[in-house]
Amino acid sequence: MKILLVLTSHNQLGDTGQKTGFWLEEFAAPYYVFKDANADVTLASPNGGQPPLDPKSDEPDSQTEATERFKKDSDAQSALDNTLKLSDISPDDYDAVFYPGGHGPLWDLAEDQHSIALIETLYASGKPVSAVCHAPAVFRHTKADDGTPLVKGKSVTGFSNSEEEAVQLSSIVPFLLEDELKAKGGNYSKGDDWQPYVITDGNLITGQNPASSEAVAKALLEKLKR
């Protein structure tokens, strides 16, 4: 069971001068769900090497059991320091892909041609594709075999407009994810802000926010076990 985790390489929050990147919990929780299931996990990012960590996700209020475990795990830290370059990844080598969020993917992975091709190839091969929080932005330009948007007619979720408003970044982000998924024909729904909410529609698995990251990973494992 080989699972690819794709992280952002983007570290700037628009023109604010603030840093962004991937959200620690959204990487750590799925990473250990997969590792504890004896999956072979590979990490990749557009630029390769060390992906940028959103500093807010490293603050005390954002810590979880998984993030604490990661901070004591030198093997996991080494893997994160040395992500493969996305352009060097072959979809044929993996059974599924998982995208952690953080605001970074809105800028780079949403537009990345290698990511788009990876998702389209995996999905067309009947392999599960999953993303949590802001990471469903990766479906912005992905197409199904018939040329229509991949999310068209499918049930999806992702970071909601109300959650973006709550973190006061609605006017900073390049697009609002909830609006974008709806614009592409996705049947978007959401749970309460900051509560776990996961949707599985065939081989497309999405989660709404950081609290949903572990549940998305478990849903992906269930799909692979079948």
Catalogue all structural domains in the chain, each as residue range(s) with its CATH number: 2-225 (3.40.50.880)
- What is the band of 226 on the pLDDT scale with cuts at 50, 70, 90? confident
pLDDT digits (tens, 9 = 90+) for 38-95: 999 999 999 999 999 999 999 999 999 999 999 999 999 999 999 999 999 999 999 9
C-beta separation of 7 from 27 below 8 A: yes
- Both tokens assigned to 82: 């040395």
> Alpha helices of 53-173 — where are they, by DSSP H?
65-71, 74-81, 113-124, 161-166
C-beta separation of 70 from 81 below 8 A: no
- Provide, rounded to the nearest whole percent, the portion of the chain with pLDDT above 70: 100
CA distances from 159 to 42, 89, 150, 154, 169 (A): 25, 27, 18, 17, 12
- Provide, rounded to the nearest whole percent, the portion of the chain with pLDDT above 90: 99
- What is the band of 28 on the pLDDT scale with cuts at 50, 70, 90? very high
Q: What average pLDDT does the segment 106-115 reach?
A: 98
